[in-house]
A and B are shown apart, each in its own frame.
Chain A
């Protein structure tokens, strides 16, 4: 516990806040995007925003796996779940996300679909082994952090020659999404805001390392600081970004040195590369289609690919009319700017995915940050 407390210490936080206040240039605004939902969550849960000087504006990024999965992919999962003899294994966060027509996995489950809430990919594999009479499908979502466990269960299923296990793969990639945010004309038309620098992902970077960010830091001249998920990590990283911006540098720096190296976890990367390959294009909620931004299962493992096995048709479904999750995910609006925030859309009755996941910006705002609007 001492280990954790160290990263939440009030005196250290005040020290960092003072340092930031001294170092920011009073005439400029620092628009910093925290890519990850984990950072958004930490910022609101610990009240980091209250300690930041006014010139620093945090923009919430799309790094919440539940939030970026578009309605079409969720509808495909719902389709799977309602097929006879299928057991769909899903992370709990996904269950309450609304799909088309107000349907959700939770509702489908209540109506009799066989949907299991699991905590790990391994649980899904285990379920398939124990229930050879069922088609067990693992609804895999997540960024690079959760990809290696998915690759591992596919590898294990192949080794066991399991006939009744497959994976509905929705793994997405961080670096292409960041580039897309900065780059694509669509994103610009979609009024994405200007961003001066990025807080880079913590856990994702443990796997992929800090190197993948180097090209775009220099190419787009945007500093990146890889930041741990503790509140002091976040503050320290903001200070590092401010220093880079003040000095006109645009480098990849690593604040989270206790876990992240430049090259990441080579073993995990090899495993993923053996089983999965980039898709030519994948649709994100909020970002639209992003080239080479997601993974699919390689041909030799096709029999474990639920999309092929069940001949799932890709589909594109628009978000709920009132939902502005897309704009929230691009950092174009704050959650409270959404017209239905806190009225039609609350954690009990979510209209959009950003209100469901603990890492979603709307949920973080609603659960932890609402007092600000009221004040």
Chain B
């Protein structure tokens, strides 16, 4: 594909001091320039280069997985990522949790007038890097600009499609008593990194979001354990929400073992300080897998062999329970419920 050279603009966008203006979303020349010099330049691929309002795609055979998610994280930049990389990882992961190979994304931007173009470029370039690294293309997009004070810098929506290989059937209603509950790594890294940044508190240890694309780990897992029942990424609402969903969908109970759940010491310390429970804190690069008991050891070994699953652990088991409760054996040796998060007003973390 040759370099796009359709239009030339009198003066290039000022990515040092320039700002988003209402005209950047109005469908006129200014918008064309923003698309040309920023989005198209960063995301380059044959579909986008055609400059059509839609991408026409040839897909490999298999069932298609499709998903969409909107990203409103504040602050926009946090240790370990930014809203751009998050918008790619989050949607790629939603596809991956169906066992799909993610292929293409769309990207919709809602920009606030006055937002620095320099920061927008940082976000878009980070998004492009994340997409390249994940092997997905951003094939279509949209930009809208809202008045100053009516947005919070940048909101991003991404939708994605992927193809599910033959024979893979993952679903939240397939958990059965006796199944193992596996977690791919430590809990709470993303939410704590973002909230620590928001709180303005200084922490001695660097806290980093775990934001990452999980489809390659998933590919290894489905290859290793074809009997895998279900995968979920515990984002908003954390592990607690994810397991309660699965318990409800499958009509089972789940028992966790607190001592088996990996939480990094600095994350645990910040949770303590901010009054958070790591079970409820969002993750952006972790997954929960439910698999038949006979697959647990093999699956765990395969996960641990992958860099994104190095700290994977068996954290609980599926049980019969008419109430579909998720409970936990505490470190102390007692029991507690791990209920849905109730009505707490959490800040925007994803």
Residue positions of A touching B, CB distance < 8 A: 1-2, 4, 8-10, 13-14, 17, 44-51, 92, 96, 117, 231-232, 346-348, 366-371, 374
B71 at the interface (CB under 8 A from A): no
Q: How far is the CA of A9 from the CA of B343 in the complex (A)?
A: 31
Q: Which of B61-69, B102-110, B151-159, B325-333 lies at the binding interface?
A: B325-333
Please state if B342 and A346 are interface contacts (CB–CB under 8 Å). Answer: yes
Please state if A47 and B336 are interface contacts (CB–CB under 8 Å). Answer: yes
Given contacts A13-B332, A14-B333, 14 further A-B contacts (CB under 8 A): A2-B265, A8-B332, A9-B331, A10-B330, A10-B333, A45-B330, A46-B330, A46-B332, A47-B329, A47-B332, A47-B336, A49-B334, A51-B333, A371-B337
Q: Which residues on the A side are within 8 Å of B268 (C-beta)?
A: 1, 4
Please state if A367 and B339 are interface contacts (CB–CB under 8 Å). Answer: yes
Q: Which residues on the B side are within 8 Å of A10 (C-beta)?
A: 259, 330-333
Q: How far is the CA of A348 from the CA of B330 in the complex (A)?
A: 25
B142 at the interface (CB under 8 A from A): no
Residue positions of B touching A, CB distance < 8 A: 259, 265-266, 268-269, 272, 322-323, 325, 327, 329-337, 339, 342-343, 345
Q: How far is the CA of A17 from the CA of B345 in the complex (A)?
A: 37
A-B contact pairs, 20 of them (CB 8 A): A8-B331, A9-B331, A10-B259, A10-B330, A44-B336, A46-B330, A46-B334, A47-B332, A47-B334, A48-B332, A51-B332, A366-B339, A367-B342, A368-B337, A368-B339, A369-B336, A370-B339, A371-B335, A374-B323, A374-B325
Q: Which residues on the B side are within 8 Å of A231 (C-beta)?
A: 330, 332
Expressed in whole angstroms, the minimum distance between the Cβ of B13 and any Cβ of chain A is: 36
Chain A interface SS verdict (over half)? helix
Please state if A48 and B334 are interface contacts (CB–CB under 8 Å). Answer: yes
Please state if B339 and A45 are interface contacts (CB–CB under 8 Å). Answer: no
Q: How far is the CA of A48 from the CA of B335 in the complex (A)?
A: 8
Q: Which residues on the A side are within 8 Å of B330 (C-beta)?
A: 10, 45-47, 231
Q: Which residues on the B side are within 8 Å of A371 (C-beta)?
A: 323, 325, 327, 335-337
Please state if B333 and A368 are interface contacts (CB–CB under 8 Å). Answer: no
Q: How far is the CA of A261 from the CA of B272 in the complex (A)?
A: 24
Please state if A46 and B339 are interface contacts (CB–CB under 8 Å). Answer: no
In this complex, what residue of B is CB-closest to A370?
B337
Q: How far is the CA of A17 from the CA of B334 in the complex (A)?
A: 11
In this complex, what residue of B is CB-closest to A12?
B332
Q: How far is the CA of A8 from the CA of B331 in the complex (A)?
A: 7
